[in-house]
Structure 1
Amino acid sequence: MRLLHIFLALLIMASMSRAQPPVGPTTCPVPKDKCEEACNVRCSQKGHKKRCLFYCNHCCGWCQCVPPGYVGEHKDCCPCYRDWKKQTGEPKCP
């Protein structure tokens, strides 16, 4: 039983280490105090705007960048934002 607890703890720690991507160089930086502004533009044409803004602001706060344009466009300028995935493998950042 103790071995099972240790295994589960290690599994949880391993999944948490992949939960947030490393912050790397970006060509579209956004200061943390400008995330809301940049995300308002990024999510302006999204149907589920509230959810889009939540994830965009979360990603911007961590990666300190928001790609220009609307959801799904120009993600190459920010590898952290582009490569951050949900557990299901879908992109986390809009």
Structure 2
Amino acid sequence: MTPIIITLPAALQSLADDQAQLRLNAQTVNEAFVQIAQEHDLLAKRILTRGGQLRPFVNVFLDEQDIRHLNGLETPLDGYQEMTIVASVAGG
């Protein structure tokens, strides 16, 4: 298991007990989201679809690399220190 710090945008912090960062141990990005869902179900629902895929308006970076350019949710966390979740904001 790899320790990882997950940084949340202000718009999602209220779904994680007002925490700006979560710390956990996981082997892959998907495992990290499974753990998040166990403690913060509403947060996980804003990040992942019912089918367990990353929502189109949510970007996830490992140290500054977009997981969509790596192995997506199956990207191993080994070698990374921080996972940053960025939710797009739309409005008109």
TM-score normalised to structure 1 length: 0.28
Greater strand content: 2
Computing the radius of gyration from Cα coordinates, the structure with the larger value is 1
Q: Which has the higher contact order (CA 8 A, sep 6+)?
A: 2
TM-score (structure 2 length as normaliser)? 0.28
More helix by share: 1
